[in-house]
Amino acid sequence: MTILQVGAAVLRRRADHVDPDKLTSPKLGELIEVLRAGLVETPGVGLAAPQIGVSLRVALIQDPPQFHARVSEDRLAELERTAVEPYILINPEIEPVGDERRTFFEGCLSVDGYCALVERAKTVRVRWLDPSGDYHEALQSGWHARILQHEIDHLNGILYVDRMLPRSFMTTLNYADWVDEPLDKVRAVFGV
């Protein structure tokens, strides 16, 4: 499986709606398995179908506990980050809830080797179908909400670089120097 990189046209168009009558199709089942395998092969917290060249409104979200092992308890609390078991969203809709916004670094498997500060809604309401056709609605906050916004952006042809604070854009190698620094210090140094 190849994860497409920025510049691939499919990453910049709104993905096609999945016909609910096709939820049990072998083709959709294969796509879901490829997404699951993709996040095993290239660990990340989410993967959207356009990232593997399929223009359908399907995404996989996860934040396994093993990803938290390398993050301090204080940082996990600041990010409001808790474990998220893998799940599939089909035809998701998302909306911010409240006015509170949070700014943190984000990276993307389709913008490999870079990251930047991105401001996003702290809390969102998301609605979706699962692969069985069951409807779900949930209110999510913190890091889980950030993952949802990032992946659903992919389904709308939006990359985090479209939302980033441009002066904070950096390589992931340089990010290692800033990951644990207070946001106020990062903002002051980079003028964001």
Distance set, CA 138 to CA 60, 89, 114, 134, 161 (Å) = 16, 12, 31, 13, 27
| Region of residue 113 (left: phi > 0; alpha: psi -120 to 50; beta: else) | left
Do the Cβ atoms of 53 and 8 come closer than 8 Å? yes
Do the Cβ atoms of 157 and 14 come closer than 8 Å? yes
Beta strands 84-96 and 123-129: pairing type? antiparallel
E-only strand ranges, 37-122: 46-48, 58-63, 84-96, 101-107, 114-121
Catalytic residue among 93, 119, 151, 181: 151
Do the Cβ atoms of 29 and 37 come closer than 8 Å? no
Q: How many helices (H) and strands (E) are present in the chain, helices listed first?
A: 6, 8
Length of the chain: 192
Could you confirm whether 30 is annotated as catalytic?
A: no
Active-site residue set: 151
